[in-house]
Structure 1
């Protein structure tokens, strides 16, 4: 079963989630998206599990405002291209356990991830 964790090594929220869920001790393949870029195949796999590129896209990224993206009508292709071009556009962290995906750091999602990891 695939166990993969995409995160940003410098992100304190990601670090706290890793510590809280213990994914680093459960045999997850850890990928720091700043030092090891996401491949198109990896992003397409995330999209297949999450349902859309938009669901993986972070509107909190500084470049979102800088590039004036909030005023544009973005397509799925735009979201895909932006995430591949700029790692900060990926909503973090992203955890994949088998056919389940956990995207982002809201409390409900982190709780669901913790529960899934505890069952491994």
Structure 2
């Protein structure tokens, strides 16, 4: 399976999608218009190792909800990501049994290498 979870309104996601082209055979899922299912999140978690690894602390809601002052559990991370798309660190690229999470230069380069060899 080749799939990218991204946010249409995110300029960084748009830039990374352009960098990763061509995207032949890659399914794109825009997470605002088509929410992540619990099954999809579970699959991502299994590849990433934890829900925390998929969680974005940069989301504006993170501070607005006062979450930066709380000790969050794995279950909290899972529920928050399922509750609101902005809590997913993005983009997320799933390539068969590999996962690339986020937008750091290192992650994007590794994803590009894995995608195009």
- Shorter-chain-normalised TM-score: which range? over 0.9
1:1-120 equivalences in 2 (<5 Å): 2-22=1-21, 25-119=23-117
Consecutive unaligned residues of structure 2, counting only runs of 5 or more, are: none
| RMSD (Å), alpha carbons | 0.7
Inter-partner Cα distance in structure 1 for 2:46 and 2:10: 26
Consecutive unaligned residues of structure 1, counting only runs of 5 or more, are: none
* Offset of residue 15 of structure 1: 0.6
* Offset of residue 117 of structure 1: 1.1
Query: What is the count of residue pairs matched by the alignment?
Result: 117
Inter-partner Cα distance in structure 2 for 1:117 and 1:62: 31
* Offset of residue 26 of structure 1: 1.9
Q: Which runs of 4+ in 1 moved over 4 A?
A: none
Inter-partner Cα distance in structure 2 for 1:55 and 1:26: 27
Secondary structure of 1:38's counterpart equals: coil
Secondary structure of 1:4's counterpart equals: strand
Inter-partner Cα distance in structure 1 for 2:58 and 2:70: 15
Secondary structure of 1:59's counterpart equals: coil
